Amino acid sequence: MKSWPRRIAFTIIALVVLLGAWVWWNRPEAVDMSAYVPAESLVYLEANSLPDIVSGLTSTDAWQALAPPAGLNANIGRLGWLSRLSAWSGIGSAETVVFSRTQAAVAVLGFDVTEESSTVRDIKPRIALVAETHTGARRVEAAVIKLIGNYARRKYGEPVVQPPDVDGATFITWTTPDGKRKIIAAILESVAIVGNDEETVRACLAVRKGERASLADDAQLAEMRGRMNAAGSLAFGYVSPAGARRLLETAAMTYFSQLASDPNSQSAAAILIPQLTSRILGGAAWSSRIAEGAVVDNYFFNLQNELAARLHTSLATSGERKLRAADLLPADTNQLTVYNYREPEAAWRGLNAAISSQLEITIAPFIGRLLDVLLVESLKPFGIEAPHDFLRAAGPEVATVRLDGDGESLVLIASIRDREALQSLVRKQLGAGAKSQRVGEAEMLVGADAERGAASFVGDHLIIGGAREVRRCLQERAASRTLGTAGAFQQAARSASANDASNVVTYTNDYDPARRFISFIGRQNGARNTLPNASALQRSLSALPYALSETRLVEGGFEKITRSSFGQFGALVAQLAADVEADK
């Protein structure tokens, strides 16, 4: 009889050991997701733990401040012990297991550009999401059909669903009623591939089958992972040199076609920009992490042919920040961007010379003309008609300002190097009929007609822009309701680097991006546990620190670091929500 307790204890121990061994055997082992996408991918993104991303976002100061008044479950999406057991053992619902175990990658293999007009281009990426779910094909298929099917119905209304096409893999297609847009899904064992282009989906599938080369052997990808500390980040992105050139070329042509109405300038741009991008731009990378309660996105843009070293002297900063633009702007200013160069006009000439040096001598002069067109068009909204003269007379710091979110109300603030020269430029720009008005303690000069705008010299600063915008800035300054006194701005300003090494610093009101993110989350099933408190939510949104972005020249290229409420994750969710709403 004494042996029975021992036998029971032994049996229990054996079962525990067997269960532990079984769980250990079934645990997901991390894979290199770059081995799942084609070698020729132009853009590649990876996220190795979806629960870590959700946990990171819900740990931010913004989430903790906004979730309660929005009526959201503060712990939404976080893995409890049962979910973590599902992640390790694979036991649980298909959705829970897939979410908790999945590693994901996004690959862009190309872009389709359609010119809707001379100034509007529709850019559609050929894109695929590849998910290694570390679970069985039946569960993957069930989760994909439910998740993608629900998304397709929200986006397309009543899509046409084609039955699975089994050819070594399961294919499912959701098509809009007019047949113009599709979502294609393929499932092969534990891998799900979802895209908007069948050729792209099949290319990723061929990589998984070993029939096509993958991105895993790309040497620059490995270098960028190390530089961006991909292993310690929530997500990582890589743009190949070919992809960076294609993106820059497309963006530059779109931007230039909107700025320059001259057909000759547009034709020159079409010839020069592809040559230029192929010679100056290498790859690019991005990583995201949580730091001090905010999402920090880090970007790096590689420049070829030692271009960064050539630019080092020309783009040197003044070494100090004296521009008090925030004290001259309304408290609700949407965006402030401060440019810091020791000599602004010399910086522009140096940039021109460095870029021209990458082209053949017969072509180089044309790039100078092209850049001058861009400079003229960029400063025209602020009423500046002689940009080189302006940059020579301005001090080391120049700020461009969007007073509203639509970008319709613009002003420019510059520190003063040569007051007499700036006064002469202002008088010429405003015209002989300019009138002087007193706003508080400041004098405002208003142009002879509305198109000439207005300007005001306040201490060592010049404010220039539309008459309504300049007047508003002076009125708010007189009433001491300035951006510099706003707590949300002050929080961001304290986070700015103290070493003054950044060439460009941008502060952006984070109210709308955060509101769109929270609103989208609130529309998901099970996200709310109470009714939202609209007034409390608005107060919390208004108190969010401004998003901060700092760009500087570093060894090998440019680095940009942003600090915001929800970062690129929030921007992605907001864009997803906008796309769904636009298709309804």
Whole-number pLDDT of residue 169: 83
Same domain, 212 and 239: no
Residue 387 near residue 376 (C-beta atoms within 8 A): yes
* 3-state secondary structure labels for all residues of 83-117: HHHHHHHCCCCHHHHHHHHCEEEEEEEEEEEEECC
In DSSP notation, 336-369 reads EEEEE-SSHHHHHHHHHHHHHTTS-TTTHHHHHH
Whole-number pLDDT of residue 1: 47
Whole-number pLDDT of residue 23: 46
DSSP single-letter state for residue 524 = S
102 located within any domain = yes
Whole-number pLDDT of residue 424: 93
Same domain, 136 and 172: yes
User: Which residues, other chains included, contact 128 with Cβ-Cβ below 8 Å and sequence gap of 6+?
Assistant: 37, 106, 107, 109, 193, 194, 195, 196, 197, 200, 201, 203, 204
User: Which residues, other chains included, contact 192 with Cβ-Cβ below 8 Å and sequence gap of 6+?
Assistant: 130, 131, 133, 140, 143, 144, 185, 186
Same domain, 31 and 72: yes
Same domain, 24 and 110: yes
Same domain, 122 and 45: yes
Residue 332 near residue 402 (C-beta atoms within 8 A): no
Of 410, 117, 127, nearest to 254 by C-alpha is 117
403 located within any domain = yes
222 located within any domain = no
Phi and psi at 520, nearest 5°, equal -65, -45
Same domain, 212 and 245: no
Whole-number pLDDT of residue 24: 46
Whole-number pLDDT of residue 89: 47
495 located within any domain = yes
Same domain, 276 and 199: no
Whole-number pLDDT of residue 7: 58
SS3 490: helix
Structure tokens at 406: 């639509």
Same domain, 339 and 441: yes
**Which of 162, 185, 217 is the last residue in one of the domains?**
217
Number of structural domains found in the chain: 2
Whole-number pLDDT of residue 180: 79
**Which of 157, 182, 217 is the last residue in one of the domains?**
217
Same domain, 262 and 388: yes
536 located within any domain = no
Please report the beta strands in 24-159, taking only residues with DSSP state E, as ranges in sequence order. Answer: 43-47, 103-115, 121-132
Domain span holding position 369:
235-510+545-583
252 located within any domain = yes
Q: How far apart are CA 542 and CA 539, in angstroms?
A: 5
**Which of 168, 189, 217 is the last residue in one of the domains?**
217
151-157 contacts at long range (C-beta below 8 A, 24 or more positions apart):
151/183, 151/580, 152/183, 154/580, 154/584, 155/579, 155/580, 155/583, 156/181, 156/583, 157/583, 157/584
Q: Tens place of pLDDT for every residue, the chain, 584 residues?
A: 456 665 555 555 555 555 454 444 455 678 999 999 999 999 999 999 888 898 899 999 999 999 999 998 776 755 554 455 554 444 455 566 667 788 999 999 988 876 655 555 567 889 999 999 888 888 888 888 888 888 888 777 777 667 666 667 888 888 888 777 889 999 998 999 999 998 999 999 999 999 999 999 999 999 999 999 999 999 999 999 888 888 877 766 665 555 555 566 556 666 666 777 777 888 999 999 999 999 999 999 999 888 888 888 888 887 777 668 899 999 999 999 999 998 999 999 888 888 888 777 766 677 777 778 778 888 888 888 889 999 999 999 999 999 998 878 999 999 999 999 999 999 998 988 889 999 999 999 999 887 889 999 999 999 999 999 999 999 999 999 999 999 999 999 888 865 567 899 999 999 999 999 999 888 877 778 888 999 999 999 999 999 999 999 999 999 999 999 999 998 887 776 665 555 55
Give residue 89's region: left, alpha or beta (phi > 0; psi -120 to 50).
alpha
Same domain, 239 and 297: yes
User: Which residues, other chains included, contact 578 with Cβ-Cβ below 8 Å and sequence gap of 6+?
Assistant: 516
Residue 87 near residue 68 (C-beta atoms within 8 A): no
Same domain, 186 and 258: no
128 located within any domain = yes
Whole-number pLDDT of residue 534: 93
516 located within any domain = no
Residue count of the chain, please give it: 584
Same domain, 555 and 419: yes
